[in-house]
Structure 1
Amino acid sequence: MEAIDFSTYPPTPVVWAYTAVDSACEPLGCTDWRDRLPHRWSQEGAWLSGEFKIVRSMSELKPPLLTYQQYLQQEYNDNGQGQIRSSIGLKSLYNYAFKTSSTSLAELTTPTAICALFMLVIVLRRIKAILLPRFSDLGRQAALHTHGRQWLEQTNNQTRIVKFGEYVFRLIFHTAVSIAGIVYFWDKEWWKADGTKSLWIGYPNQPIDAGMAWYYLAQSAYNVEAMISLLEISFVIKTATKGKFPGFHIEWSPNVRGDFREMFVHHVITNMLILGSSSFRVTRAGSMVFLVHDISDIPVDLSKLANFLKWKASTAVCFTAMVVLWCITRLSILPFVIFKSVMIESWMVCANGVVDPILYVFYQPIFVFLIGLLILLHAAWFTMFLQMGYYLVFKGEAHDLSEHKTGETLGTATKRKIN
């Protein structure tokens, strides 16, 4: 496969700029603006020449996804006339959703996927509303044995008990989705040695299995709900009356995370990558990013639970596993396998002649930028882990700097030592 020489193409900022001009000129009737430029700027091979103009959008290049109506026409026609049976059964819905590849569920911007995502977020929030109080009760019982009744009765420790329930829920989700991801992707070619080229070969005509569609929907629902929950615990709205008119203002909540800014940016970037990779149908690469995140989150949740329970040995073991897995997944596989492939192998999407190289120049840097930001955030969190490890090893103190910038307390002004 012969590589494409992208050095002859204009840089991405130039492509963005003249595409914006093209978009603005189309309704104004000045689409020939290049002809009015000096010849040296618009001659063949120049950055502003017509040969580099984006003619077709990515939406025009992607093969159409199968809608439920089309599925019924294919599967349930009478006498070859293409008439759909009047009754739509659960079996047809099940086969469409879980047995059919490349349906409209595979792209999160379609109405079908948006409806499914909306329902999943509602279901997830309902499940959390039911389970979190029960998990918090378990934390309350555990705290009675590990911290004592006096600690349990302190009002400001109730937040820690609620967070215990959140940690349990996150642990269950990350464990379940990691196992499901490993099982589903175990034999996929892009996870094999030197298999990352298969992320791009055949694009955009790569089929999207029903399993991949629901994997994306579940991950998207979790991340959307996580952002909503983060905002709920980070801010409080207070009412105030000025003169005759009532008003309100927003303040930081006492329960705000110590790494709120990093976590919020991470959620925004993650949701942008989810939406972008789904819309552009690069779900193979996106699924790899999902899986390395989920696996590395398991020991994070375990460490927080062990720290709450004052299990010194378990905290040390879980913390060590967290650091090791973080290095393997988020600081090794993500930058040196996935990000590397996006950087130097993704040009293969142009190899079959379907995708115009100028479209690649336009869009590829966006994904590079977003994944690069994720890697920087992971590096920042890793330095936080090193600080936490220092306190744990050399001072015997458990400081959860992700929850509190100055360390985690147990309802008193002093920091707790693990014993």
Structure 2
Amino acid sequence: MEALLNEWLWREEYWIPPGIRWQDTEMKENEGHFPRPRDLFYTLPLALAFIALRYVFDRLIAIPLSKCLFVKDRIRIRAASIPKLETFYKNNSQQPSQNEEISLGKQCGLSKRKIQTWFRHRRNQDRPSNTKKFCEAFWRFVFYLVAFTAGLGSLINTPWFWDQRECWRGYPKQPVSEAHYWYYILEMGFYLSLLLCVSVDVKRKDFKEQVIHHIATLFLIGFSYCANFVRVGTLVMLLHDSSDFILEVGKMLHYGGWTKICDSLFVVFSLVFLVTRLVVFPTRLIHTTLVLSMEFFEPFFGYYFFNVLLLVLQALHIFWAYLILRMVYKFMFYGKVEGDERSDEESEVDEEEEEEEGDDCSWGQRKVAINSKVASLANNCVLNNLTNQRNTNRRLPKAR
């Protein structure tokens, strides 16, 4: 197996520039550590450890904090237990067509409107609560903040942080420090844990883009480590972490109803995101990998593959920048952020209609609603009569 991998996967022309052999990258103990693919095997148990830690974190820290920030969950009507509809919901579709609604109505002896109501309640029943969304945002906020702080502390004194040409000086024989090794391993383990939990996390409109982002990030981190693009790779990770933790804390405050602070953070996040992802990332990092690197070695497979992954990330940055600019437009012309453009996959209309729907409510609930409306109408009538009577009394002396 090792001979097969060496022959097909670890071929020198894939990973290092022409004219250099694997023997040329070997280092002595006093020279430092050269990245080896086997180092990445630790990311899988680390990802599982992140998932377990997140489970404990949610219950001991995130949920109690959500209560302190007054995060409230919407009360939803549970769909009635109808086995045929439940089977169709899970196996076929969550939003049946008109013909399917008519067919299901005949099978269950229900009207078309009641079928629509049942599916609306069932979809809303699966929607994530604000507490769950808060816990997810808080977990990411803590990691991104710690990663950005640690990454900045380990990179600010390095020469390639200020001059990107230093990313390639002496390549590929560049030792990796212990801090940057753990920075890589922890980042890759975290993104792997996000990919493993993608089916249970909150699904948003950009769900597919998020999956592509996680996969591209994992390939980017793994390949850049094996090809020893560690110096530029640490800059890429630091740049992404710089705005991510601002976004997550803004989400947390949004779920708690802290609108004014959330709007202010949204403006800060928008500025940081647009500057780092649309200006710094293409002009500094992609430029150094595409252009400046050619001053130090000839192009090879790793050069093309690495730059393709960076361009995929840049395409995602443009997509998210479009969503952010839409929110900025709403903020400027409506005075507030009316909602996350990356909101849950189901539309908010379902929840609004659920609050107004009365077909599936109990008669007691409908009776209370009717009585309250009648009382309101009666009060209005009494007030109108009293007002009219006062106006009549005021006019009587003048008539006399």
Amino acid at match of 2:341: L
**Contact 1:132–1:165 (CA under 8 A) maintained in structure 2:** yes
SS at match of 1:231: coil
Provide the rounded CA distance (Å) in 1 between the counterparts of 2:346 and 2:76. 20
Cα shift at 1:328 = 2.1
Correspondent of 2:344 among 398, 404, 407: 404
Provide the rounded CA distance (Å) in 2 between the counterparts of 1:374 and 1:148. 34
Correspondent of 2:56 among 122, 125, 130: 130
Provide the rounded CA distance (Å) in 1 between the counterparts of 2:167 and 2:276. 18
Which residue of 1 is the match for residue 179 of structure 2? 211
**Contact 1:140–1:152 (CA under 8 A) maintained in structure 2:** no
Provide the rounded CA distance (Å) in 1 between the counterparts of 2:293 and 2:52. 40
Cα shift at 1:157 = 6.4
Are positions 1:335 and 2:274 aligned together?
Answer: no
Provide the rounded CA distance (Å) in 2 between the counterparts of 1:389 and 1:398. 10
SS at match of 1:116: helix
Cα shift at 1:367 = 1.7
Which residue of 2 is the match for residue 303 of structure 1? 250
Higher relative contact order (CA 8 A, sep 6+): 2
Provide the rounded CA distance (Å) in 2 between the counterparts of 1:305 and 1:408. 19
Are positions 1:163 and 2:133 aligned together?
Answer: yes
**Contact 1:178–1:294 (CA under 8 A) maintained in structure 2:** yes
Provide the rounded CA distance (Å) in 1 between the counterparts of 2:76 and 2:131. 11
Query: What is the identity percentage for the equivalent residue pairs of Structure 1 and Structure 2?
Result: 20
Paired residues, number: 296
User: After TM superposition, which residue ranges in structure 1, 4 or more long, deviate above 6 angstroms?
Assistant: 54-59, 151-154
**TM-score, normalising length: structure 2:** 0.66
Cα shift at 1:310 = 1.3
Amino acid at match of 1:229: C
**Contact 1:400–1:407 (CA under 8 A) maintained in structure 2:** no
Correspondent of 1:229 among 193, 197, 220: 197
Are positions 1:271 and 2:197 aligned together?
Answer: no
Cα shift at 1:391 = 3.1
Provide the rounded CA distance (Å) in 2 between the counterparts of 1:320 and 1:333. 18
Unaligned runs of 5+ in 1: 1-22, 25-53, 75-99, 234-254, 351-356
- The 1:411/1:306 distance shift into structure 2, 3 A limit, reads farther
Cα shift at 1:325 = 0.7
Which residue of 2 is the match for residue 60 of structure 1? 22
Cα shift at 1:135 = 4.2
**Contact 1:306–1:315 (CA under 8 A) maintained in structure 2:** yes
SS at match of 2:25: coil
**Contact 1:400–1:408 (CA under 8 A) maintained in structure 2:** no
Provide the rounded CA distance (Å) in 2 between the counterparts of 1:207 and 1:228. 31
- After superposition, give the CA deviation of every residue in 1:151-182 in whole Å (9 maximum; x if it has no partner): 89995665331121111111111001100011
SS at match of 2:198: helix
Provide the rounded CA distance (Å) in 2 between the counterparts of 1:164 and 1:313. 18
Correspondent of 1:189 among 159, 172, 181: 159
Provide the rounded CA distance (Å) in 2 between the counterparts of 1:312 and 1:188. 40
Are positions 1:385 and 2:385 aligned together?
Answer: no
- After superposition, give the CA deviation of every residue in 1:66-105 in whole Å (9 maximum; x if it has no partner): 7xxxx7xx9xxxxxxxxxxxxxxxxxxxxxxxxx9305xx
Cα shift at 1:413 = 4.3
Which residue of 1 is the match for residue 104 of structure 2? none
Provide the rounded CA distance (Å) in 2 between the counterparts of 1:346 and 1:141. 51
Provide the rounded CA distance (Å) in 2 between the counterparts of 1:296 and 1:152. 38
Are positions 1:291 and 2:238 aligned together?
Answer: yes
Which residue of 1 is the match for residue 149 of structure 2? 179
Higher helix share: 2
Provide the rounded CA distance (Å) in 2 between the counterparts of 1:156 and 1:412. 15
Provide the rounded CA distance (Å) in 2 between the counterparts of 1:166 and 1:381. 19
SS at match of 1:206: coil
Provide the rounded CA distance (Å) in 2 between the counterparts of 1:181 and 1:289. 11
Which residue of 2 is the match for residue 369 of structure 1? 308
CA RMSD of aligned residues (A): 3.2
**Contact 1:133–1:162 (CA under 8 A) maintained in structure 2:** no
